[in-house]
Amino acid sequence: MTVCVVGQGGREHAMARLFARSADVVVTPGNPGMPGELFGHKITVDPASPEELGADLTVIGPEAPLVGGLADRLRARGLPVVGPGAAAAALEGSKAFMKQVLAEAGVPTARYGVFDDLAAARAFLAELPGPFVVKTDGLAAGKGVLVTPDREEAEADAAAKLSGRAFGAAGHRVVIEAGLDGIECSIHVLCDGPTVVPMAAARDFKRALDGDRGANTGGMGGYSPPPEVDDALVSRVIDEAVEPTLAALGRRGIEYRGVLYAGIMVTADGPAVIEFNVRFGDPEAQVVLPRLADDPFELFLATATGALRAPPAFAPAFALCVVAAAAGYPEAPVVGERIDGLGPDGQLADPIDGVTVLHAGTTKDPDGAFRVAGGRVLGFGALAPSLGEARDLAYRAAGSVRWPGMHLRRDIGPPARPATVPG
């Protein structure tokens, strides 16, 4: 059996390692930190298209190919695929569409407006008490969101997006929301069409700097499970947010088959949807997937073929991932720097039990040296019996790797004192 994983980042590296438990894996296009052998199965990278590879199961990692209809094309060839078609992927491809569906479904979410005119956007901002949230309507790799208490900053951001200066065509329309107050968490579910089953919950850290300061990023780390998210909350999110949204899509003639990620704010009035993503989060996948106890091939094949039954089992362990980014990330990452502290296989030169290095933005020189090739470069994932142990392991691993300008947050995990990174 062969599983094709589509993508090249840390999320896809985590997927590849997961599926290697029960099948050979090919990642397209992949990155040089992925190839190897695990559990008696090979992980290879291949630039060929998923259609050409024709694997027994294809799992699509990033949002862009989903929005572009890759899952539709694979299904048209009779290939089992985990990922929604383009019509369903519009939940992430257009935040305005998502908000419209939520309104139709009666799903709790923030007060919002959709604008392509700056004067109207400014007038709406003047009605809100703050904090203010300004989002690009289209895809922006997790970086198209501003959250600020400053109305002037929100107006300036809306102007930059609407003009195309900030995010090009993705920002020519904006969604403006009233900020929500509460505890944020990420809840993933698998949908095979009629059936929905929950995955383990997670929490991620979007802001670039400690204390949730700085620019929004694709994600600087995360952990699973968050102690504040219990089974009752997950069930409530499925009943009040996920199922009504899927029903609203169904009334439009749209079936959802794949992973659905609900970004949730648990407010004083209950859970409210911040966003829906149509794939695993990154870095949430890096902390959810290592805890999966069931056979991954069978679980995701059931998702692809409409055969889901019971929720999957997860190991009673804690996972935490710390993301190390390039200097200048997210605005202008500096690439090309040599990475010290990795072995020839891309893992730690001095291995630490319970730690995995997940490559997101690297290249490899002919002499075997790894270099920075993207904004988010490496993830240091740890699995341990307690959250504190996982946190200590991940930061110990991060402290053993270096490149000029390497940047990471030191407060990934539940509220606690900042971590001390060795070295």
Considering the domain boundaries, does residue 129 fall inside one? yes
Residue 300 and residue 237 in one domain: yes
Domain count within the chain: 4
Residue 47 and residue 136 in one domain: no
Q: In the numeric block, which tokens belong to residue 32?
A: 């040089």
Query: What are the pLDDT digits (tens) for 82-109?
Result: 999 999 999 999 999 999 999 999 999 9
Residue 300 and residue 202 in one domain: yes
Residue 286 and residue 225 in one domain: yes
Residue 301 and residue 282 in one domain: yes
Residue 283 and residue 233 in one domain: yes
Q: Using an 8 Å Cβ cutoff, are 355 and 348 in contact? A: yes
Residue 284 and residue 379 in one domain: no
Residue 267 and residue 198 in one domain: yes
What's 143's domain CATH number? 3.30.1490.20
Residue 268 and residue 379 in one domain: no
Considering the domain boundaries, does residue 404 fall inside one? no
Considering the domain boundaries, does residue 410 fall inside one? no
What's 376's domain CATH number? 3.90.600.10
What's 223's domain CATH number? 3.30.470.20
pLDDT of residue 419: 43
| Per-residue buried b or exposed e for 148-186, using 16+ beta carbons within 10 Å of the residue's own CB | beebeebbebbbbbbeeebbeebbebbbbbbbbeeebbb
Query: What are the pLDDT digits (tens) for 223-253?
Result: 999 988 999 999 999 999 999 999 999 999 9
Distance in angstroms (rounded) separating the CA atoms of residues 20 and 36: 10
What's 25's domain CATH number? 3.40.50.20
Considering the domain boundaries, does residue 365 fall inside one? yes
Range of the domain at 322: 318-398
Q: In the numeric block, which tokens belong to residue 368?
A: 């075997």
pLDDT of residue 420: 39
Predicted TM-score (pTM) of the model is 0.92
Considering the domain boundaries, does residue 310 fall inside one? no
Q: Which of 271, 305, 339 is the last residue of a domain?
A: 305
The pLDDT tens digits along the chain (423 residues) read 999 999 999 999 999 999 999 999 999 999 999 999 999 999 999 999 999 999 999 999 999 999 999 999 999 999 999 999 999 999 999 999 999 999 999 999 999 899 988 999 999 899 988 788 998 887 766 667 888 888 899 899 889 888 876 566 655 789 999 988 888 899 999 999 999 999 999 999 999 999 989 888 989 999 999 988 999 999 999 999 999 999 999 999 999 999 999 999 998 888 999 999 999 999 999 999 999 999 999 999 999 999 999 999 999 999 999 999 999 999 899 999 999 999 999 999 999 999 999 999 999 999 999 999 999 999 999 999 999 999 999 999 999 999 999 999 999 998 644 443 443
Q: Which of 305, 333, 357 is the last residue of a domain?
A: 305
Residue 214 and residue 292 in one domain: yes
pLDDT of residue 422: 43
Radius of gyration of the chain (CA): 20
Residue 157 and residue 217 in one domain: no
Considering the domain boundaries, does residue 408 fall inside one? no
Q: Which of 305, 336, 356 is the last residue of a domain?
A: 305
Considering the domain boundaries, does residue 237 fall inside one? yes
Residue 123 and residue 232 in one domain: no
The dihedrals phi and psi of 241, each to the nearest 5 degrees, come to -125, -55
Considering the domain boundaries, does residue 409 fall inside one? no
Q: Using an 8 Å Cβ cutoff, are 260 and 239 in contact? A: no
Scan for tokens 């899927």, then name that residue: 246
